[in-house]
């Protein structure tokens, strides 16, 4: 996994709450047996509108999304995280995330950054014209000299993101404990 330290660039402003995983990637695109190639279908329903930020060349390759509450609700499909990775997104900033999406994002090196409503509203405005910096080392989101917000993140997730850690290798290093548990429980 690519370590996440600092990401700078444009951010797609998506001023909606409850952006669900069907909207991020519709089920018709889940038939792939690969992780790559889903970016072209990300937010398909939003792309079809004329004023879509996804149609605006200024946002092409933007590494950040700014959105409102409960981002990623709905299905457990990791394809949503893969689609964002394939689109070039490395960080999503929102007031809240669905649990499963946040976990999937983290496993794919995407930082889910929670900020309060006022901060997110300000970033949604800034994102229309300016670049945004998400820095996981200093735990800040900044826009030039104007905006400066600090966030918190689960320390385990932060460490894994910063190191780009393979979680399975980490768990397999505890194989003895797993075997001992199985023996103790008679499983």
Partner 1 sequence: MSERPRTLYEKIWDAHVVERRDDGTCLIYIDRHLVHEVTSPQAFEGLRLAGRKVRRPDLTLAVADHNLPTTPRIRGNGGPLLIEDPASAEQLAALQENVAEFGVPYIDAIAAEQGIVHVVGPEQGFTLPSTTVVCGDSHTAAHGALGALAFGIGTSEVEHVLATQTLMMKPSKTLEIRVDGELGFGVTPKDLILAIIGQIGTAGGTGHVIEYRGSTFEAMSIEGRLTVANMSIEAGARSGLFAPDEKTFAYLEGRQMAPKGESWQRAVAGWRQLVTDPGATFDRSVHIDAASVAPTVTWGTSPEDVATITGFVPSPDSFTDAGKRDAAMRSLEYMGLEAGQRLQDIAIEHVFIGSCTNSRIEDLRAAASVLKSRKCSDRIKQALVVPGSGLVKRLAEAEGLDRIFIEAGFEWREPGCSMCLAMNPDKVPPRERCASTSNRNFVGRQGPGARTHLMSPVMAAAAAVNGRLTDVREMMGDIGELAA
Residues that bind partner 1 (CB under 8 A): 15-18, 20, 22-23, 26-28, 30-35, 44-45, 68-70, 73-78, 81, 96, 98-100, 103-104, 107-108, 154-156, 167-168, 170-172, 174-175, 177-178, 181-182, 185, 187
Looking at the Cβ atoms of 105 and 132, the one nearer to partner 1 is 105
Residue 168 C-beta: closest distance to partner 1, Å: 5
Written as six digits, the tokens of 119 are 């901060």
DSSP string spanning 41-94? GTTHHHHTSTT-GGG-GGGTT--EEEE-SSBTBS---THHHHHHHHHT--EEEE
Residue with smaller CB distance to partner 1, 133 or 161: 161
User: Judging by DSSP bridges, how do beta strands 132-135 and 140-143 pair with one another?
Assistant: antiparallel
Instruction: Write down the least CB distance from residue 175 to partner 1, Å.
Output: 8
Please say which residue, 148 or 156, places its beta carbon nearer to partner 1. Answer: 156
CA distance 113 to 98: 12
DSSP letters, 148-176, are EEE----HHHHHHHHHT--HHHHHHTTHH
By the 8 A CB rule, do 151 and 176 touch? Answer: no
Query: Radius of gyration (Cα) for the chain, nearest Å?
Result: 18
C-alpha span between 36 and 96 (Å, rounded): 27
Of the pair 68, 92, the CB lying nearest partner 1 is at 68
Please provide residue 76's backbone torsions phi and psi, each rounded to the nearest 5 degrees. -85, 0
CB of 67 to partner 1, least distance (A): 11
Q: How far is the CB of 130 from partner 1 (least distance, A)?
A: 23
Q: How far is the CB of 33 from partner 1 (least distance, A)?
A: 4
CB closer to partner 1, 145 vs 175: 175
Give least dist CB 145 to partner 1, A. Answer: 29
CB-nearer residue toward partner 1: 96 or 142? 96
């Amino acid at each position: 996994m690519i370590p996440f330290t600092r990401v700078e660039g444009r951010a797609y402003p998506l001023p909606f709450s409850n952006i669900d995983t069907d909207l991020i990637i519709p089920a018709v695109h889940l038939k792939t047996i690969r992780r790559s190639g889903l970016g072209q279908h990300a937010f398909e329903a939003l792309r079809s509108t004329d004023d879509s930020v996804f149609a605006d060349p200024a946002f092409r390759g933007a590494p950040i999304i700014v959105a409102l509450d409960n981002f990623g609700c709905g299905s457990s499909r990791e394809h949503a995280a893969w689609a964002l990775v394939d689109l070039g997104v490395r960080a999503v900033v929102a007031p809240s995330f669905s649990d499963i999406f946040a976990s999937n994002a983290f496993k794919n090196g995407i930082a889910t950054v929670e900020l309060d409503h006022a901060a997110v509203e300000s970033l949604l405005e800034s994102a229309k014209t300016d670049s945004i910096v998400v820095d996981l080392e200093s735990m800040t989101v900044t826009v030039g000299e104007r905006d400066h917000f600090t966030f918190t993140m689960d320390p385990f997730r932060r460490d894994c993101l910063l190191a780009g850690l393979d979680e399975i290798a980490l768990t397999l290093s505890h194989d003895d404990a797993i075997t001992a548990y199985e023996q103790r429980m008679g499983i």
